[in-house]
Amino acid sequence: MSRRLPLRLPRSQSVRFVLLCLLLTILIATPSLLFIYSRTDALIQGRIVSRIDDRQRNLLFGYRKGGIAGLVHSIDDEITTGVIQGGVILLTTASGERVAGNVLSWPPTLREPTSWREMRLYTEGRTTPALYAVRVMHLPSGHWLLLGTNLEARERMRAALAEALLAAFLMAIPAGLAAGIILHRFTDRRVKALSRIANRIAAGDVSQRLDTSGEGEAYEQLGDAINLMLARIEELVEQLRVVTDALAHDLRSPLMRMRAGLEKASRQCEEDAARDAFASISGEIEGMMRLITATLEIGRTEAGIGRENFARFDLGDLIRDLCEMYQPLVEDRGFEIDSRRSGDLTFVGNRELIGQAVSNLIDNALKYGGCCRIELGADAADSEIRLWVADSGPGIAESFRDEAMKKYGRLEGARTFEGSGLGLALVRAVARLHGGDLSLEDNDPGLRAVLRLNRGWADAPTE
């Protein structure tokens, strides 16, 4: 038993759009062409009926004026003068005997009056039948009268009309495809421009604007509305930057004064317990300053602040420098650290923020990894560059990884260590500023934190 495969539409959105335009063209063209065909055919048939009506009136006039003899005279006159024009005519008695006309015998299928019937008949002088439209009348005298007109011209007209409409239909197919392609390219260009700007906004770049010149009233209105929205967002982001800068200054200054005062009091105090208390309070103030700094840094990064410092640099050199910088600290703890780089790692981005993000991942591996080996790596693909920090520790269960990347998200096992729960959140914010993201994966054993960066993010055109 054969299985019927399901009909599936192409997955490409552009192909679907073009096929939809083609379908709409066919749906519009088909009834239009059928209407033209039916109306033209109706006009042709109307002319045929009109011709038969005229002949009927002339013949019946002769019948009323002179009876059967007058009718026979009118029939002979039609045949002689050529008024019949390739048509047929036959007059018979009630019993079917031929009286006058150019048809050899009465068709056996015609047994009652009819106003229109198509059939093939043999006429005098022809060896093959021809197609005629016939009308049958039963006269008061009992005679039967058959009138008809040749339909070969109509059939030729129908064939020519059908060929012309078929050609028009076939021409509508490439026209529909061309219209679909042109319309898709026009709309796709605008949608892609809008999508690129939306992606830039999601990454915090609100300085871009849509070009609304010469795009039509609807697109201009949409573009003006979006540009107005972007201007307002840019104004709010600038206000956020000013507020965060002021907040950072206003919060750090009193905390630093408090810490300086505690250190001065600690030096003047002679009791060990008091000095320990002062040191503990000073440590808490230091932790609060780090928490404020990290929170403000995440907020600024998520708002896109930092894009103004984008520049071209080599991520491979950054990985090498971080490996050399952390190597003494790692070796002091009895661990190992090495780096692995491959491909073209040239990138346009904020080197300082990316370095801070990778440093956070290394610090997490040292603090929570409980491992003996850390690997820094970078490789390049066509559209992205991957940076990763892998350890051989216990790792994080897959069900807890999303929670670990949230702001202030600290897993149960990490609460015994000093920290704010903002390290991975900052790394993710940096990744998204560069059109990428952060993912936590198995390292078998251990955890691999992968920072994905969009290679063409900073260079992507907006139009």
Residue 58 has pLDDT above 70, yes or no: yes
pLDDT of residue 421: 60
pLDDT of residue 251: 64
What per-residue string of b and e applies to 153-180 under the rule 16 or more CB within 10 Å gives b? ebeeeeeebeeebeeebeebeeebeebb
Q: Considering only 22-31, 126-135, 212-221, which range has the smallest mean pLDDT?
A: 212-221
Question: Which residue spans within 242-326 are E strands per DSSP?
Answer: 311-314
Name the band, by pLDDT with cuts 50, 70 and 90, for residue 125: confident
pLDDT of residue 329: 86
Q: For residue 55, give the amino acid letter.
A: R
Residue 5 has pLDDT above 50, yes or no: no
The stretch 327-340 carries a mean pLDDT of 86
The contacts of residue 252 (CB under 8 Å, 6+ apart) are 289, 292, 293
Q: Are strands 311-314 and 346-349 parallel, antiparallel or unpaired?
A: antiparallel
Both tokens assigned to 116 = 């229109």
Residue 2 vs residue 215, higher pLDDT: 215
The length of the chain in residues reads: 463
The contacts of residue 319 (CB under 8 Å, 6+ apart) are 339, 341, 345, 358, 376, 377, 378, 387
442 neighbors 390 (Cβ within 8 angstroms): no
The contacts of residue 168 (CB under 8 Å, 6+ apart) are 29, 33
Total-model pTM:
0.48
Both tokens assigned to 105 = 């015998």
Mean pLDDT of the chain, nearest integer: 78
Name the band, by pLDDT with cuts 50, 70 and 90, for residue 463: very low
Q: Considering only 76-80, 207-211, 377-381, 406-410, which range has the smallest mean pLDDT?
A: 406-410
- Signed CA dihedral, 413, 415, 416, 419: sign only: positive
**Around 257, how many Cα atoms within 13 Å sit in the side-chain half-sphere?**
5
Question: Which residue spans within 262-335 are E strands per DSSP?
Answer: 311-314
DSSP single-letter state for residue 123: B
The contacts of residue 57 (CB under 8 Å, 6+ apart) are none
pLDDT of residue 294: 62
108 neighbors 100 (Cβ within 8 angstroms): no
Residue 125 vs residue 291, higher pLDDT: 125
Residue 417 has pLDDT above 60, yes or no: no
Both tokens assigned to 203 = 């990454």
- Strand partners of residue 338: 375
Residue 130 has pLDDT above 60, yes or no: yes
Name the band, by pLDDT with cuts 50, 70 and 90, for residue 205: low
Residue 420 has pLDDT above 80, yes or no: no
Residue 154 has pLDDT above 70, yes or no: yes
Q: For residue 441, give the amino acid letter.
A: E
Residue 283 has pLDDT above 80, yes or no: no
Name the band, by pLDDT with cuts 50, 70 and 90, for residue 38: confident
- Separation in Å, CA 273 to CA 278, 415, 435: 9, 26, 52
Residue 267 has pLDDT above 50, yes or no: yes
pLDDT of residue 9: 46
The contacts of residue 198 (CB under 8 Å, 6+ apart) are none
Q: Count, in order, helices (H) and strands (E) of the chain.
A: 8, 12
Residue 145 has pLDDT above 90, yes or no: yes
Rounded Cα distance between 378 and 358, Å, is 11
The stretch 196-219 carries a mean pLDDT of 67
304 neighbors 205 (Cβ within 8 angstroms): yes
Rounded Cα distance between 389 and 360, Å, is 10
The stretch 39-44 carries a mean pLDDT of 85
pLDDT of residue 300: 63
pLDDT of residue 212: 67
Rounded Cα distance between 231 and 220, Å, is 16
Residue 82 vs residue 323, higher pLDDT: 323
Name the band, by pLDDT with cuts 50, 70 and 90, for residue 7: very low
